[in-house]
Structure 1
Amino acid sequence: MSYQQKATSYWKKNIQYLIILLSIWFLVSFGAGILFKEELDTIRIGGFKLGFWFAQQGAIYVFVILIFVYVKLMNRLDKKYGFDAKDES
């Protein structure tokens, strides 16, 4: 496989990861915080309605978790295609 083919495959997979992870974030932030708020408000966490909690806190937590997931996926992808940082010294 040539360098150009590897780079193209790498970026296609990277874009696929981004679409999936950003879709999850959208569903959590917009879906849970706005669209499904009424249904989620029937559940309480720490005295607060779950819909309110997702709108104020949950979406941020999910976003931070998705950052760590993205880092792990990209490290694995870098190694798969040989683009990982190697100690050249």
Structure 2
Amino acid sequence: MADKSSANAYWAANVRIILISLVIWFACSFGLGILLRPALSGIMVGGADFGFWMAQNGSIYVFIVLIFVYANRMGKIDKEHGVEE
């Protein structure tokens, strides 16, 4: 990265990916697992209602998927800004 505008663009892209990932994880863990749990009680997944399943297992699976998506997307952003390893 040669100039400050390129560094700012790289940082803005990084922060945008982080914020989107946090919003998705919050919606899955807190939203589906806690706030919407009573509304999701009729949907069964693996012997438990969907809200309980999201609180116990689903949010962890979403987090793992987000880790791989973040790594993949940051690899592309690194190449776009010339800072790949």
* TM-score category, normalised to shorter length: over 0.9
In 2, Cα distance between equivalents of 1:16 and 1:2: 22
- What TM-score, normalized to structure 2? 0.95
In 2, Cα distance between equivalents of 1:70 and 1:46: 28
Deviation at 1:3, TM superposition (A): 2.5
Q: Which structure has the larger Rg over C-alpha atoms?
A: 1
Give the count of matched residue pairs. Answer: 85
5+ residue gaps, structure 1:
none
5+ residue gaps, structure 2:
none
Identity %: 46
SS at match of 1:55: helix
Alignment of 1:13-32 (within 5 A): 13-32=13-32
Alignment of 1:65-80 (within 5 A): 65-80=65-80
Name the structure 2 match of 1:62: 62
Name the structure 2 match of 1:40: 40
- 1:3 correspondence with 2:3: yes
Q: Which has the higher contact order (CA 8 A, sep 6+)?
A: 2
Question: Over the residues paired in the alignment, what is the CA RMSD in angstroms?
Answer: 1.2
